[in-house]
Amino acid sequence: MNHKAGFVNIIGNPNVGKSTLMNAFVGEKLSIITSKAQTTRHRILGIVNGEDFQVVLSDTPGIIKPAYELQESMMGFVKSAFEDADVLLYMVEIGEQELKDEAFFNKITNSQIPVLLLLNKIDKSNQQQLEEQVQNWAEKVPNAEIFPISALEGFNVKEVFNRIIELLPESPPFYPKDQLTDKPERFFINETIREKILFHYKKEIPYAVEVDTEEFFEEETIIRVRSVIMVERETQKGIIIGHKGSALKRVGVEARKDLETFFGKQIHLELYVKVNKNWRSNQNQLRRFGYNN
Ligand code: GDP
Ligand code: K
Ligand code: MG
């Protein structure tokens, strides 16, 4: 049998379950998943290899209207998802009626690329609601094939994956077959720390934070890591650190545990907090953190 390979991009509103699905496909926790919108800022590649196929998946930031420069840059990632894919996975969730952004909606309905519309979170719906929504989306996006799924419970995920393989062109693999992702180790460390911050702090704090891993030394039995948590203001620095350092310590302990599981090695994680005014609006800073296409 001939080899198939290609690029699959997952798009949709924030929090519909894109990262959950990608992780279900890849079988590893590559993309951080939380109940907050805008968790995923970068495009992330997950690679699923089989004997005669290679599926390269991009998880994108959810579709939002840009309100400041970081968001502008995030939307660039989403736009490019329409250009370099062999299959588009357009994900909506039960109860969602339409895509808020009309330009994106037009792109989807006029797409020359095959579109699989994934109606996610059907574990939260009843049969009647499900049938109504399938009907609704079939009328709105006539060019799409519709799959009701539960990314969380794995329902219909395998069927979607099999359909993707059918749609992929014949091609040799694009990446070495033992490679899981194109992102370097530091990226996972940054994202893991950011996930803990999203989980433990309220309101504007997580969105004012960026994490940069400055050192990554892998020794035989231990990996030594030093990462800086960047905030915009002194007050935020105080909140991140907490009373006698207790809040920061909790972030460090939890991140270290996850990273030890991920890398399969002991981790020494040194965390510190630095004030870096207005990093979100500063183009040079954004470029440094890889937000430009
Ligand atoms: P993204 O922003 O589109 O990447 O969404 P995430 O994958 O981060 O998921 C957002 C939230 O929806 C998380 O709390 C997930 O656990 C939850 N979620 C994802 N898929 C499902 C599903 O199939 N059913 C239910 N009930 N929740 C889901
Ligand atoms: K999310
Ligand atoms: Mg996501």
Which atom of ligand 1 is nearest to 153's Cα?
23
Q: Is the CB of 148 under 6 A from ligand 1?
A: no
Last residue of a domain, one of 136, 167, 198: 167
Question: Domain total for the chain?
Answer: 2
Q: What is the mean predicted confidence (pLDDT) over 62-89?
A: 59
Is there a single domain that holds both residue 161 and residue 189? no
What percent of the chain clears pLDDT 70, i.e. is strictly above it?
Answer: 73
For residue 131, pLDDT over 90 is answered with yes
- The pLDDT score that the predictor gives to residue 13 is 81
Residue appearing with tokens 């009373």: 243
Is there a single domain that holds both residue 23 and residue 112? yes
Least confident of 85-94, 173-182, 219-228, 235-244: 173-182
Q: Is the CB of 120 under 6 A from ligand 1?
A: yes
Flag whether 82 is in a domain.
yes
Q: Is the CB of 39 under 6 A from ligand 1?
A: yes
Q: Is the CB of 63 under 6 A from ligand 1?
A: no
Query: From the CA of 175, how far away is ligand 3's center (Å)?
Result: 23
For residue 14, pLDDT over 50 is answered with yes
Q: Select the highest-mean-pLDDT range: 29-38, 101-110, 251-260.
A: 251-260
- The pLDDT score that the predictor gives to residue 266 is 92
Is there a single domain that holds both residue 88 and residue 147? yes
pLDDT in tens, 150-209: 999 999 999 999 999 999 999 988 766 655 554 567 777 888 898 899 888 986 787 788
For residue 125, pLDDT over 90 is answered with yes
Domain of residue 121 covers 4-167
Flag whether 178 is in a domain.
no
- The pLDDT score that the predictor gives to residue 22 is 81
Is there a single domain that holds both residue 17 and residue 118? yes
Is there a single domain that holds both residue 145 and residue 224? no
Q: Select the highest-mean-pLDDT range: 68-77, 145-154, 209-218.
A: 145-154
Known binding-site residue numbers for GTP: 12-19, 59-63, 120-123
- The pLDDT score that the predictor gives to residue 269 is 97
Is there a single domain that holds both residue 79 and residue 136? yes
Is there a single domain that holds both residue 96 and residue 222? no
pLDDT band at 147 (very low <50, low <70, confident <90, very high): very high
Flag whether 180 is in a domain.
no
Flag whether 293 is in a domain.
no
Name the more confident of 276 and 279: 276
- The pLDDT score that the predictor gives to residue 121 is 97
Is there a single domain that holds both residue 131 and residue 264? no
Flag whether 108 is in a domain.
yes
For residue 18, pLDDT over 80 is answered with yes
Is there a single domain that holds both residue 29 and residue 93? yes
- The pLDDT score that the predictor gives to residue 172 is 86
Flag whether 172 is in a domain.
no
Is there a single domain that holds both residue 142 and residue 192? no
How many Cβ atoms sit within 10 Å of the Cβ of residue 111? 16
- The pLDDT score that the predictor gives to residue 1 is 66
Q: What is the mean pLDDT of the chain?
A: 80
- The pLDDT score that the predictor gives to residue 104 is 73
Residue 165 CA from chain centroid, whole number: 21
- The pLDDT score that the predictor gives to residue 79 is 58
Last residue of a domain, one of 167, 198, 222: 167
Q: Is the CB of 150 under 6 A from ligand 1?
A: yes
Last residue of a domain, one of 135, 167, 199: 167
Query: From the CA of 15, how far away is ligand 1's center (Å)?
Result: 6
Q: Is the CB of 62 under 6 A from ligand 1?
A: yes
Phi, psi of 220 (to 5 degrees): -60, -45
Query: From the CA of 43, how far away is ligand 2's center (Å)?
Result: 13
pLDDT in tens, 257-271: 988 877 778 999 999
Known binding-site residue numbers: 12-19, 59-63, 120-123
Flag whether 105 is in a domain.
yes
Is there a single domain that holds both residue 248 and residue 150? no
Give the number of the ligand closest to the Cα of residue 93: 1
Query: From the CA of 174, how far away is ligand 3's center (Å)?
Result: 24
Is there a single domain that holds both residue 16 and residue 158? yes
Assign residue 46 the CATH number of its domain.
3.40.50.300
pLDDT in tens, 222-231: 889 999 999 9
- The pLDDT score that the predictor gives to residue 81 is 60
3-state secondary structure the chain: CCCEEEEEEEEECCCCCHHHHHHHHHCCCCCCCCCCCCCCCCCEEEEEEECCEEEEEEECCCCCCCCCHHHHHHHHHHHHCCCCCCEEEEEEECCCCCCCCHHHHHHHHCCCCCEEEEEECHHHCCHHHHHHHHHHHHHHCCCEEEEECECCCCECHHHHHHHHHHHCCECCCCCCCCCCCCCCHHHHHHHHHHHHHHHHCCCCCHHHCEEEEEEEEECCCEEEEEEEEEECCHHHHHHHHCHHHHHHHHHHHHHHHHHHHHHCCEEEEEEEEEECCCCCCCHHHHHHCCCCC
Flag whether 77 is in a domain.
yes
Q: Which of 11, 33, 118, 123 to mutate for ligand 1's pocket (most ligand atoms within 8 Å of CB)?
A: 33
pTM for the structure as a whole:
0.62
Which residue, by CA, sits nearest to atom 8 of ligand 1?
33
- The pLDDT score that the predictor gives to residue 145 is 98
What counts of helices (H) and strands (E) characterise the chain?
9, 9
85, 8 Cβ separation under 8 angstroms: yes
Distance CA(224)–CA(266), nearest Å, equals: 9
